[in-house]
Amino acid sequence: KKVAFIGNYTALAEADELGNFVNCDIKSYHSESTDGITRAIDQAVADGYTAFIGGYSVNLICSQRRLPSVQGVGRGCAYRGCGPHGA
């Protein structure tokens, strides 16, 4: 599975290591704004990534686009699934 991790530099610091840990292809896409998040999701989809990890805005946009995502960054995050394939 190809998973896109979308967020700011702080959130992305360990994304590559996470990919090694869970044995899947995780690529980091940097974004600091809502417009940047939209562009990052578009680029990840174009690159063939099929699932997404990010904060509230990433999950909101993915849900609107019916893309599977999980909220994995942000204060108080409970690692909850969002979108049509979320838990």
Q: Give tens-digit pLDDT for 7-54.
A: 876 666 666 677 777 778 888 898 888 889 999 999 999 999 999 988
Interatomic CA distance for residues 5 and 12, integer angstroms:
7
Which pTM was predicted?
Answer: 0.75
pLDDT of 66 strictly over 70: yes
Length of the chain: 87
Assess contact for 36 and 57: CB atoms under 8 A.
no
Tell me the β-bridge partners of 54.
71
- Residues 22-40 as b or e (16 or more Cβ within 10 Å = b): eeeebbbbebeeeeebbeb
**Token couple for 67:** 């893309």
